[in-house]
Amino acid sequence: MNKVNVYGSFTQALFFSGVVSIPKYLLTHYTEIGLTDREMIVLIQILCEAESNPYPSIAILAARMTATSTDIEEVVGRLVERKLLTIERYWNPNDQKWDNTYSFVKLIDELAELWAIERSQQLEEERTLKKHQSTPQAISTPINPSMENLVHTFEQELGRLLTHLECENLDRWLSSHFSEELIIEALRRGVSAGIRNFRYLDSILREWEKKGLRTRAEIEAEDAYFQARQEKKIAKPKNLVPKTTPNKYDNFYL
């Protein structure tokens, strides 16, 4: 077989081996929802198997990558913990039994929220541009210093301008008597967890509100108390002689 025939045969085999459809928006925005390169490749490998094997084993995924089974298991565990990947049960009619399958519903939700924010931001910028064009000397209204600082902090951390809806969220938190300090602390914890959406930050603030925590010092004290309780649960007494119940006949012959 000459070189041309080999190349032609390979090209035919390449395209007839099947293709994997990966949304372009996912490929261009996966880092913005907190995914690493390795996590993204694992998701692609799972999508590659979706049609014939909806729940590929860790060994299969590891065999296709320069990673150990332990590495892949940790990646999948993180994705499941963040709910970007969920494991569901489905009825397999061919084998007549219940099997597992990976679901990407939460991942799609995250992308949808990101897209909505971008779209809202785009529309807001268009409206602002039109407004400035029609009223170039419009008088600006005074801004609350706390609000101004929060907007600046969030935009610095997120690396983009906030949308009108996101600014409304910040204003609503301030109106709900959440301090500037508390809101920034919620942002810090969200960023540390790799989650930057406002819905997650709102859940953190509401949890603190339930516990009556109003300052960063109170939150840190609560964290320390929780950590101490966890360590107490884990710690086990060592070298203790088990207690025995006295035998009622021990003193019988005294």
Lowest mean pLDDT among 19-23, 101-105, 116-120, 207-211: 19-23
pLDDT at 158: 85
Mean pLDDT of the chain: 82
Average of per-residue pLDDT across 177-190: 90
Question: Region 94-118: what's the mean pLDDT?
Answer: 89
- Statement: residue 70 has pLDDT above 80: yes
Say if pTM beats, i.e. exceeds, 0.75: no
Most confident of 70-74, 88-92, 131-135, 246-250: 70-74
Whether residue 88 has pLDDT greater than 50: yes
pLDDT of 243 reads 52
Q: Cα–Cα distance between 189 and 187 in angstroms, integer? A: 5
Which pLDDT does position 6 carry in this prediction? 66
Q: How confident is the model at residue 253 (pLDDT cuts 50, 70, 90)?
A: very low
The pLDDT of residue 8 is: 61
pLDDT of residue 49: 84
Q: Note the pLDDT tens digit of each residue in 32-66.
A: 888 999 999 999 999 888 878 889 999 999 998 98
Which domains does the chain carry?
Answer: 16-136 (1.10.10.10), 143-233 (1.10.10.630)
Note the pLDDT of residue 254: 39
Average pLDDT over residues 16-41: 86
> pLDDT band at residue 176, thresholds of 50, 70 and 90?
confident
**Whole-number pLDDT of residue 76:** 94
What pLDDT is stored for residue 230 in this prediction?
81
pLDDT at position 160, please?
Answer: 86
